[in-house]
Structure 1
Amino acid sequence: MTDLSTALELAPVVERVHGDNHPELTRVRELTEQISQSAVATETTQLFRELRTITQDYAVPSDGCEAFTSVYDSLRAADASHAKA
């Protein structure tokens, strides 16, 4: 499974479980979906920039579960791969 596919699979679950305490997770899910559908590098770069901002550079909060960590780790890795491309 690729980094982005892991995030795509788990982001809705994490949003459902942690969304009440972390409303930014709705936008994380939306951005993850947009990145997966984006074919334009400059658009993808902007989407990752917004993700870094709203996640505070993919910092998992203290109440984050293993799936929460997996989403942010996957997004961080996808972001790094995109930056190298």
Structure 2
Amino acid sequence: MTEFDTVVKEHFPTLEIYTLPLTRAHGKNHPEVFRVHELFRRMNEKVKDSGSDKPDLDEEFTELREVTGQYALPGDACETYEAVYEMLSEADDAYYA
């Protein structure tokens, strides 16, 4: 099992739960979270569809880094916001390891 596979197994179920509420809680002040949610949803589908193969997520990770400012947290980030960005950053690092 690769490092990325481990991160997917550990973090993607939580990200699946956390990204939508993040849009509700912070979307008004941080509209980029809607794009984060959509990108994660697309990534999660690709991971599920790929089976044991590593999916091509270059485009999604590149855009995530752009829209999040390299996973930089805003001053009003809650624990869920922090957790989402931390898990996405870990997935990004593991993908390219």
Normalising to structure 1: TM-score of the pair? Answer: 0.89
Matched with 2:3 is none
Say what the alpha-carbon RMSD is for the aligned residues: 1.4
Do structure 1's residue 56 and structure 2's residue 69 form an aligned pair?
Answer: yes
The letter for the 2-side match of 1:33 is R
Separation of aligned partners in 2, 1:77 and 1:8: 15
Cα drift, residue 9 of structure 1: 1.3
Q: Does 1:74 align with 2:87?
A: yes
Unaligned runs of 5+ in 1: none
TM-score normalised by structure 2 residue count: 0.79
- Indicate whether 1:9 and 2:17 are aligned: yes
Deviations 1:17-54 (A, max 9, x none): 00000011110000001111113643x11100000000
Structure number with larger C-alpha Rg:
2
Give the total of aligned pairs.
83
Same amino acid, percent of matched pairs: 34
- Asked if 1:46 is matched to 2:59, the reply is yes
Structure 2 unmatched ranges of 5 or more = 1-8
